[in-house]
């Protein structure tokens, strides 16, 4: 398999509320919900760096499409890491997430590797790490 992951899809309980959280609360760019004309097709895509897309799709629709039973979201099954350019951006992003309805799990603090990071759980229970790592800085936009 070649490393060509281009979309990460999060199952959400309420597509409209999740769209507002990511678009309005975190400021992620999107064209909004598309695919409403298809049964189980409504989805929203957000443009991330490097061409990566974040998609949100209703858990009920994922369950329908895959044939798997719907399961509760587990906050500890994976994390989404969002690297930022400086310490202050960690604080700003965490504040924006909290204002949008996220639960702060671990407030930003110095890390063992010389960085600065914190965790929040989005409105669906997905765990995000906002991190400034001086050895792994993102490419500036």
Domain count, the chain: 2
Within-domain flag for 12: yes
User: 52 with 87, same domain?
Assistant: no
Within-domain flag for 1: no
CA-angle at 15, arms to 45 and 9, nearest 5°: 45
**Per-residue pLDDT at 140:** 74
Cα separation, 86 vs 1, in Å, equals 34
Within-domain flag for 54: yes
Within-domain flag for 49: yes
**Per-residue pLDDT at 108:** 98
78: left (phi over 0), alpha (psi -120 to 50) or beta: beta
User: 51 with 85, same domain?
Assistant: no
Statement: residue 112 has pLDDT above 80: yes
Within-domain flag for 11: yes
Statement: residue 141 has pLDDT above 70: no
User: 16 with 51, same domain?
Assistant: yes
Range 99-105 average pLDDT: 98
- pTM for the full predicted model: 0.92
Residue 94 sits in a domain whose CATH number is 3.10.180.10
Within-domain flag for 17: yes
Within-domain flag for 35: yes
- Supply the range of the domain harboring residue 26: 7-66
Statement: residue 10 has pLDDT above 80: yes
User: 57 with 36, same domain?
Assistant: yes
Within-domain flag for 137: no
């Amino acid at each position: 398999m070649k490393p060509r992951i281009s979309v990460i899809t999060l199952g959400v309980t309420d597509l409209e509320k999740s769209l507002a959280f990511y678009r309005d609360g975190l400021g992620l760019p999107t064209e909004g919900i598309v695919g409403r004309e298809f049964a189980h097709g409504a989805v929203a895509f957000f443009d991330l760096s490097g061409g990566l897309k974040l998609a949100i799709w209703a858990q009920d629709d994922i369950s329908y499409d895959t044939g798997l039973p719907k399961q509760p979201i587990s906050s500890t099954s994976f994390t989404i890491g969002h690297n930022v350019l400086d310490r202050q951006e960690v604080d700003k992003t965490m504040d924006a997430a909290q204002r949008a309805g996220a639960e702060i799990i671990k407030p930003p603090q110095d890390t063992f590797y010389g960085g600065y990071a914190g965790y929040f759980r989005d409105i669906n229970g997905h765990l995000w790490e906002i991190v400034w790592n001086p050895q792994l800085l993102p490419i500036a936009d």
